[in-house]
Amino acid sequence: MSENRVRRVAEQIKKDVSRIIGSELKDPRVAEITSVTDVELTRDLRYASVYVSIYGSDSEKEETLQTLVRASGFIRSEIGRRIRLRYVPEFNFYLDASIEYGAYIESVLKSLKKEENNDHDRSSENN
């Protein structure tokens, strides 16, 4: 199957799963700020790895992830109604910590920049 088709189907699944989680999944255990960051499909379109970013404490993240795993059948049936595919993929949900990691790296860079400015100011005062 063409890589282009796999990529297009993955992008459509990403959009639809985001909508389903945001508006149709009525489970209170799902954190309010949950976003789908990526979907990777196998070449035969039978399995989908869905990466989600969840804002909240570690326990909220774990509870939301477990709720999504339990709701995967509902999500799969909704995707089957929205996208015409021979086989609707089975979903595996994974926590994506890349946004948090990016924020951490940004804070480290800011602190290094601040430290560098302080060192520069001290060296200017000594001259």
Q: pTM for this one? A: 0.77
Above 90 in pLDDT, residue 39?
yes
Above 90 in pLDDT, residue 27?
no
Q: Are residues 15 and 76 both part of a single domain?
A: yes
Above 60 in pLDDT, residue 127?
no
CB 26 within 8 A of CB 60: no
**Structural domain range at position 111:** 98-127
What was the pLDDT predicted at 43?
93
Above 90 in pLDDT, residue 10?
yes
Dump pLDDT digits (tens) for 106-120. Answer: 989 998 888 887 776
Q: Are residues 115 and 69 both part of a single domain?
A: no
Above 70 in pLDDT, residue 80?
yes
Q: Among 94, 1, 3, 89, which residue's Cα sits nearest to residue 47?
A: 89
CB 48 within 8 A of CB 40: yes
Q: How far, in Å, CA of 48 to CA of 117, rounded?
A: 47
Number of domains in the chain: 2
Q: Are residues 36 and 58 both part of a single domain?
A: yes
